[in-house]
A and B are shown apart, each in its own frame.
Chain A
C-alpha cells in the first residue's frame, strides 16, 4: 500500500507538484491520469526515492520513505520514465544485474528470472543482446528487471508509451495478473481509455494538483457525466495533452 500526503516539488519558479495526496491499495490497480506535464513523473520520482519532496510524506506499507529508503526500495518494483536497458548485455543479463543488486542468491535469481521471462513472453529473446530490440521487447525486459525481487508494490510510469497494439494488450494482461497476485499496482498514463479499462481507482492530476479521485463510478457521479472520458475532460478543464 502506498500513501502520499501533500507532496510538493518545484523546479525554480515552476511548481511541478503542488500538493498531491492519494492512496493506492493492495490488490488494486490505481491509475494516475493527467495530461503531459501535469506532474505525474515528478510525483512518481518522489515516490520511488529519486527526488526529495519539499513538503509532505510518503508511506509504503506503513514505512515512511525518508526513514528507510532502502527498505522502501526493496518493497517496490519500478518502471521509471527512463527505461534504458544495457544494449551490450542480453535481456537475461539485464534482469540478473538488478537481481544481484537486490542481493538475491543465485538459485532464487534463476527461478525468478525464469518465471518472469515466461510470464512476459520473452523466452525467445532472453539470450539476445538487447541492441536492436523493439520498443515492446525493451519495455518487457525493463519490467522483468524491475520485478525481479518480487515486490509488493509495482510502479509503472507510462508503461504503454510507444508500444504497438499487441504489446500494449500483453502489458495490460500482465498488469491484471499483478493485481490478481494481490500487489499494489500504480501506473501513470495520459491515455483515458487505458485508465478507464484497467483501473480500480483513478487519480486525476492537472497542473501539479489532484483534481479528482475515486472509482470510475464515483468520478462519473461527481461530474454528472455518463461517459468517463467526458468526466476526465471536465475535471481537467481541457483535452490538451490527453489521448483517447
Chain B
C-alpha cells in the first residue's frame, strides 16, 4: 500500500470513530441543505397559496350607498364586513389591511354620471397589506370597467374604442422552468455541502494533529510530505463526496413531498438528476479539500483554522448571490468558471433540461485543473518547516 493510501485509511477510520466528525459530515452537512430547502419552499408555497386562495375580507363603511358595487364585490367572492368604529385607527393598529369608504354623495355622483369617489383607507408602508390592497383595487377597477362598457353600449359605442391596445402575454415558461426560479437557492445549498462536508476532517487532520502534537512524529516517517498531505486531502475529499451523495439522496427523498405542483411547478430530482448533479458538483470537492487543507496548514492553531474555514465556506455563496440578485444570461464562457458553471448546471438539471456534454465536460475539467493547483499549493505549505512545530 502506498503511503498516501495508509494516511487516507487512517484518517477515514479515525474520523468515522469521532462522533463530532460524523455529526458534522453526515448529519449536519447532509441534512442541513434539504431541510432548509424544504422549509423555505414549504413556507413560500403556503404563503402563496394562502394569499391567492383566501377570500378577501373587506370592511366597508357606507355599504348602503352603493348596493350594486357591494353585490359585484360579493359575486367576486369578497367577504363584506362591517367597518370598525375607528377605521383610521384600525389600519394603524393593523387590525385590517384595507378599509373601503363609500361617501354619502357617491350615489348622487353615480346617478349624475360624474366620477364617483371611493376612498381606500390603507397604510402603503405595510408589505403584508400589499396583496389585499391590490386585490381590492383590481375588483373596483373591474367594476368600473364593466360599468364603462355598459354605458358605452347604451350610447351605441363599442367598448373597444376606449381600449386601443390589448396586451396578451405569451408566457414561455414551463412548470419546470418556473420551479427553477423557486429553486434558485438550491445550487448554493448543494455546493455548500461539498465544502462543509470535509471541513471538520480537514481541520482535524492538519491543524488538529499539530495541536495534539502528533504531526511532528508523523512527519519523521520516511514518507514525503506531499504523500502525507495527499492522503489527508483524499480523506477530506472522500468525506465531502459522501456528504454530497447523502445530501442528494435526502433531496430526492424530500422533494416528492413538497407540494410544488399546487403552484403549477415540477422539480426534477430523480435518480438521473442525482447522478448528473453528483458528477457536476463532486469535482468542486477537490478545490474545497485543497483550500481547507491549505488553510489548516497555514493557520497557527486549531481555532485560527476554524475561523478561516468558516469564512471559506461562505465563498461558494458569492456566485449564487450574484445570480439571485442579478441573474446573468448564461454564456458559453460561464461553463468554464467554477462555481458559476455549477450554479448553471444545477439549475438546468433540476429544471429538467437535457444535459449538454460539453457544458459538463468544460465545468468538470476546469474545476479539476484548478483543484490540482490548489492541492499543489497545499503541498507547498506542507513543506514549510514551521508546519510541524506546535506553538
Expressed in whole angstroms, the minimum distance between the Cβ of B30 and any Cβ of chain A is 21
**Chain A residues near B217 (CB-CB < 8 A):** 78-80, 82-84, 98, 142, 145-146
Q: Which residues of A contact B44 (CB under 8 A)?
A: none
Q: Given the complex, which residues of A lie within 8 Å of B214, measured CB to CB? A: 82, 84-86
**A198 vs chain B, min Cβ distance (A):** 23
Considering the complex, give the chain A residue whose CB is closest to the CB of B224.
Answer: A70
In B1-27, the 8 Å CB interface with A consists of: 1, 3, 6-7, 10, 13-14, 17-18
| Contact in complex: A86, B221 (CB < 8 Å) | no
B275 interfacial contact with A, CB 8 Å: no
Q: How far is the CA of A71 from the CA of B220 in the complex (A)?
A: 12
Pairwise interchain contact B13-A101, C-beta atoms closer than 8 A: no
Bound complex: CA of A52 vs CA of B385, how far in Å? 8
Stretch at the interface among A43-51, A55-63, A184-192: A43-51
Question: CB-CB < 8 A to A71: which residues of B?
Answer: 222
Q: List residues of chain B with CB within 8 A of the CB of A110.
A: none
Interface size range of chain B in the complex: 20 to 34
Is the pair B222, A73 in contact by a Cβ cutoff of 8 Å?
A: yes
- B166 to chain A: closest CB distance in Å? 73
Asked if B215 is an interface residue, CB under 8 A from chain A, the answer is: yes
Q: Are B17 and A73 in contact (CB under 8 A)?
A: no
Q: How many A-B residue pairs have CB under 8 A?
A: 78
Counting chain A CB atoms within 10 Å of each CB, the highest count among B3, B13, B209, B217 belongs to B217
Annotate B328-339 by CB proximity to A: 1 below 8 A, 0 otherwise. 000000000000
CB of B176 to closest CB in A, whole Å: 47
Q: A86-B214, A89-B13 are in contact. Are A70 and B220 (CB under 8 A)?
A: no
Least CB distance, A187 to chain B, in whole angstroms: 16
Q: Hey, what's the 0/1 contact readout for A76-106 against B, CB within 8 Å counting as 1?
A: 1011111111111100010001101111000
Decide yes or no whether B157 CB sits under 8 A from chain A: no
* Inter-subunit contact B385/A82 (CB<8 Å): no
Q: Which residues of B contact A80 (CB under 8 A)?
A: 216-217, 220
Whether the Cβ atoms of B222 and A84 lie closer than 8 Å is no
- Looking at B1, B14, B216, the one whose CB has the most chain A CB atoms below 10 A away is B216
Interface residues of A in 132-155 (CB under 8 A from B): 142, 145-146
CA distance A51 to B384 in the complex (A): 10
| Pairwise interchain contact B385-A51, C-beta atoms closer than 8 A | yes
- The listed residue with most B CB atoms (<10 A of its CB), out of A73, A84, A98, A142, is A84
Q: Is the CB of A82 within 8 A of B216?
A: yes
**How far in angstroms is the closest Cβ of chain A from B312?**
25
Name B207-251 residues within 8 Å CB distance of A: 209, 212-224
Whether the pair A48, B220 counts as a contact (CB closer than 8 A) is yes
Q: Give chain A's interface residues, CB within 8 Å of chain B.
A: 45, 48-52, 69-71, 73-74, 76, 78-89, 93, 97-98, 100-103, 129, 142, 145-146
Q: What are 22 A-to-B residue pairs whose CB atoms are below 8 Å?
A: A48-B220, A49-B220, A50-B220, A52-B385, A70-B222, A70-B223, A70-B224, A71-B222, A73-B221, A78-B220, A81-B216, A82-B213, A84-B213, A84-B217, A88-B17, A89-B10, A89-B13, A89-B14, A89-B17, A101-B221, A102-B221, A103-B222
